[in-house]
Structure 1
Amino acid sequence: MAHVYIALGANLADPLSTLKQAVQTLQQHPELHHFKVSSFYRSKPMGPQDQPDYVNAVAEFHTALAPLTLLDELQAIEQQYGRQRLRHWGPRTLDLDLLLYDHQQIQEPRLTVPHPGIAERDFVVVPLAELAPQLQLPDGRSISTLLTTMIDHDLIKIT
């Protein structure tokens, strides 16, 4: 089974409730096992600032699903929660990003793993460090090292 990390984010309607419900949906998925989730954090939007703050978290689990099949499952869950892809970095009801899939490096038209924005996104690194501080990215950088570069992050821990 593959060891997987995903990022969760939302900023429309009641984002904290949405993420908690999405976590339940993921936990009930028959192909996702040993599920853990970080605390939830409030963050400023990335990109356009004319939108509400986000609520973010990271989840960890094991799965036998292939990477692209897992991506399809995550996108189907986003659709269940009303996700519409109208604007790059625009507001969203639910965003589920595949961050890491074992130690694989994947370059597909629909999927890049590790997610290319991990190192620059405090709303990913901080909750990821909470779950797996000793985790190493395929390029050898550790999450704990990335965390030390994010001294000025603007995250607010919610729960």
Structure 2
Amino acid sequence: AALGPLINQRQLQHVHQVVSDSLQAGAQLETGGEYEGLFYRPTVLSGVKPGMRAFEEEIFGPVAVVVSFSSDEQAVELANRSEYGLAAAVISPDVGRATALGDRLRCGMLHINDQTVADECINSFGGRGASGNGSSAGSPSDWDEYSQWQWVTVKNQAPVYPF
């Protein structure tokens, strides 16, 4: 698969600094962490914990952050601990369990055994908390976001009612 460049030098520096700071804080580099020009090599960080920049910030770069958990409850608590809530993915062979877990996540987009692949434009989408812009981007249903509906009936003359 082809991977394009980051949008600009500022974003490249942000991605690389988040990775570097997280490594200094104890995360492990499984692969990546290098760049050439604006092309940042796909990167996987494991051993990421709350308090590390890779846990606390939106990276918007090709960086997968691996956070270990021991129960569904802990997974939900860790995911909801963030002030961001653009998207979440739950990967599991048990779709019912994944859906129940996903129902407890604070996010604008939820993927069960899938990921964000830029096909959300047919639906309203956005984040919760400090992420995105709510659900006011993406489709004609967004008109509801900016409208207040009112039922109006108009007749040329008032009818005579039997009371």
Normalised to the residue count of structure 1, the TM-score between the two structures is 0.30
Higher RCO (CA < 8 A, seq sep 6+): 1
Normalised to the residue count of structure 2, the TM-score between the two structures is 0.30
